[in-house]
């Protein structure tokens, strides 16, 4: 058997923590390395125990789960965060994306589904992508926020967060709005082949395998920036 997945549980309800512990201890590839009932304790435990996955309730006393997730991800980026909530909410999903959570789920998730979720995020998968794709208006809101941020960033910061050309960013925005290659070509007045060439370039730069992952990856990294200068917004002849 390989190395077990190390899990930290953060929730202020002892019975809920115990229920998760029992569920995870029934499978052979997971180990609950610690429990915390508040945010400050959770941050200290995460730094000391270095879990692979952290399960965090969004409604913690004091520091809420989103703030806890943000701090842990900033200090230890390799830790995968799963944000749990009593009910699924678009605003919470939006905030979970911003703090870099790998998954967002209601707390009534079936134990089997939670176990699968933990395994997936421990391997580097971002299940929150699927939540975003199911709610296009949330993805649009995230894109809009980064567009606003882009207008306030200095040149040095922009260089760090803009590996894509302005045309490639336009195309990613179109993909995020659900447009097909043909529709993108029509909207941007370029050929279908030029669209394909740009998408190939985007996938290569972001080191992802498909257009969906390109959009989500760029959103997560903060690379989707719509605040480019009109001087660079020229049509590319395909």
Contact predicate 133/212, CB 8 Å: yes
Query: Which of 81, 86, 121, 111 shows the shortest CA–CA distance to 20?
Result: 111
Per-residue pLDDT of the chain (238 residues; tens, 9 = 90+): 458 999 999 999 999 999 999 999 999 899 999 999 999 899 999 999 999 999 999 998 888 999 999 899 888 888 999 999 988 777 888 788 778 888 989 898 999 999 999 999 999 888 876 666 666 676 676 666 655 554 444 443 343 344 667 778 778 878 877 788 899 999 899 999 999 888 888 887 777 777 777 777 766 665 554 333 323 333 332 3
pTM above 0.75, yes or no: no
Query: Which of 196, 178, 102, 80 shows the shortest CA–CA distance to 135?
Result: 178
Considering only CA atoms, give the Rg of the chain: 20
Contact predicate 58/70, CB 8 Å: no
Query: What is the set of domains in the chain, with CATH numbers?
Result: 5-133 (3.40.50.2300), 136-232 (1.10.10.10)
């Amino acid at each position: 058997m390989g190395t077990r997945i190390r899990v930290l549980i953060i929730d202020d309800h002892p019975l809920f923590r115990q229920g998760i512990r029992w569920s995870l201890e029934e499978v052979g590839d997971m180990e609950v390395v610690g429990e915390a009932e508040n945010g400050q304790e959770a941050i200290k435990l995460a730094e000391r125990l270095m879990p692979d996955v952290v399960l965090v309730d969004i409604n913690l006393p004091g520091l809420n789960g989103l703030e806890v997730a943000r701090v842990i991800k900033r200090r230890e980026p390799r830790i995968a965060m799963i944000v749990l909530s009593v009910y699924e909410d678009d605003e919470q999903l939006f905030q979970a994306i911003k703090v870099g959570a790998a998954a967002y789920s209601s707390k009534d998730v079936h134990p089997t589904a939670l176990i699968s979720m933990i395994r997936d995020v421990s391997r580097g998968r971002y299940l929150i992508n699927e939540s975003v794709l199911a709610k296009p208006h949330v993805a649009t809101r995230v894109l809009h926020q980064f567009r606003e941020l882009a207008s306030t960033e200095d040149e040095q910061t922009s260089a760090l967060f803009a590996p894509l050309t302005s045309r490639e960013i336009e195309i990613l925005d179109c993909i995020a709005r659900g447009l097909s290659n043909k529709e993108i070509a029509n909207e941007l007045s370029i050929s279908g082949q030029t669209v394909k060439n740009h998408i190939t370039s985007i996938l290569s730069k972001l080191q992802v395998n498909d257009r969906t992952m390109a959009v989500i990856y760029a959103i997560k990294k903060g690379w989707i920036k719509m605040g480019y200068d009109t001087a660079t917004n020229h049509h590319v002849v395909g």
